[in-house]
Amino acid sequence: MTAQHELGRDWGLYIDGQWQTSSTTDRISSISPSSGKVIATVSQGSSADIDKAVQAARRASRSWASASPFYRAEVMNKASQLIAGEREVLARALADDQGKPLVSEAYDEVDELVLYFSMAAEDAKRQSGSMPHSIDPTRRVLQYRVPLGVVGVISPWNWPYTMGAEVFAPALAAGNSVIWVPAPSTAACSALLVEIFVEAGFPNGVFNFVTGLGAVVGDALCAHPSVDGIGFVGSVATGEKIAVRAAGKRQILELGGNGPFVVLEDANLEKAAAAVMDASFLCAGQSCTAGELFLVHRSVKEEFLEMVASLTKESIHLGDPFSPETTMGPLNNEACADKFDEHVKDAIAKGARIVQGGKREGGFPTTLYAQATILDGVNPDMLIASSETFGPVVPILEISSDQDAIELVNRFGFGLTSAVFTSDLSRGLSYAESVDAGWVNVNASTNLWESHLPFGGRSGTLSGRGRVGGSSVLDAFSEPKVVILQL
């Protein structure tokens, strides 16, 4: 790490253009999931700190909103360049604080982060208006978009950089001022990111950063009367609480899923098995888009299972995130690891068979290293089929038809992503149009997505409302304004 930017220290709050102490003296220790060591401390903010940040954002909002989109784009591009210049520092901090393997995952997240800022810069310049006709020939009508004002962003620990930035970068580019509340368990690497990108020159108060417990600072942010919009990426349970607390505000809620992954009898099994490696083991399965339920046609199930087991043994290497050979690191926290244990135990009790893995791996500095796990004989009544496990699991449930798959996918209530493997694109399209999911991949992993496209849960499901990705956030956190000129 450079002498200027280092992870291992005590971090304050960034409010109104300055790093400040919290109104409390309480601290949160950032503990590396891979080593078990305290790598930094961060402020445990309060509702008073949120109020201070919101007031600063409100004061800055009008001038930032009225600034030229080209000026805002210039600042966003400078932020993108600064982040790219500190790629090594940010990637190492991410591996230490979150647990992602440095070589196979952490660098990629930083690279995607760079893209979010540069993409937001371009989208800011492309927001346009129109000149609709008036019923009166002596009038002229202007219609264009203006920012909401103040936007709060609450982000998760599984992708600490990108899940926050996919919301706050376009929100800033659209002309909003922002308060970011990151997940406590990865707040240290988030603070390091803030230190780097605010050097781009955001005016005081335009971007603010408050760390603390979600039930305190997150709740205060959602309920604050001077906040106009809330963006949240995280669990279904927390999202439902936020929807209530932020009632009346514009909301983007990108929530959970269990990524149903369907393999039909005409699928290319080699490609499907290879896709499982990314679907189930990227980020140790701790992704809302992870494949966590595999619906495999009975005529190919045994062959597919054998391929997946073989590939997992060959390609998934659990270990120290800083080792170049590691392809999967530890789970991030004990609550996530406990859920992994619970779901596997429940599946075994109800008749599933462990093909591989099934428990935590010993011999590491912490107990958070979970084995890559494959289960056969899964049925719909098991937690591992009906819930979001958020761990490195491949639960295989046998189906006998396309309709079986569609009914099971729609039964569980999630509606974020799904995937289907088939050699018949007509069957693939039929599946995609029949399942209640906001995003469906045909012959690709559930974890495949392109960041410029609208991403979010299907209406009426548990997986949220609104869309992230590309210009979707600019549209969500802006609104049309109409001006009539009487000639």
Catalytic residues: 254, 288
Report how far residue 37's alpha carbon sits from residue 27's, in angstroms, rounded to the nearest whole number: 16
Report how far residue 107's alpha carbon sits from residue 110's, in angstroms, rounded to the nearest whole number: 5
Q: Edge-to-edge strand order for the sheet containing 417-421?
A: 353-356, 373-376, 393-399, 293-297, 260-263, 417-421, 439-442
Report how far residue 8's alpha carbon sits from residue 386's, in angstroms, rounded to the nearest whole number: 40
- Sequence-ordered list of residues with C-beta below 8 angstroms from that of 47, at least 6 positions apart, any chain: 216, 217, 219, 220
Q: What is the DSSP letter of 132?
A: P
107's tokens: 């660098």
Q: What is the DSSP letter of 299?
A: T
10's tokens: 């005590």
Q: Residue 152's beta-bridge partner residues? A: 179, 230
Residues 167/155, Cβ–Cβ less than 8 Å: yes
183's tokens: 């997940």
Report how far residue 294's alpha carbon sits from residue 150's, in angstroms, rounded to the nearest whole number: 42
Report how far residue 209's alpha carbon sits from residue 42's, in angstroms, rounded to the nearest whole number: 11
Report how far residue 263's alpha carbon sits from residue 427's, in angstroms, rounded to the nearest whole number: 12
Q: Is 212 left (phi over 0), alpha (psi -120 to 50) or beta?
A: left
Report how far residue 345's alpha carbon sits from residue 8's, in angstroms, rounded to the nearest whole number: 37
Report how far residue 187's alpha carbon sits from residue 171's, in angstroms, rounded to the nearest whole number: 20
- Tell me the HSE value of 37 on the side-chain side, using a 13 A CA sphere: 5
What is the distance of C-alpha 211 from the center of its chain?
Answer: 18
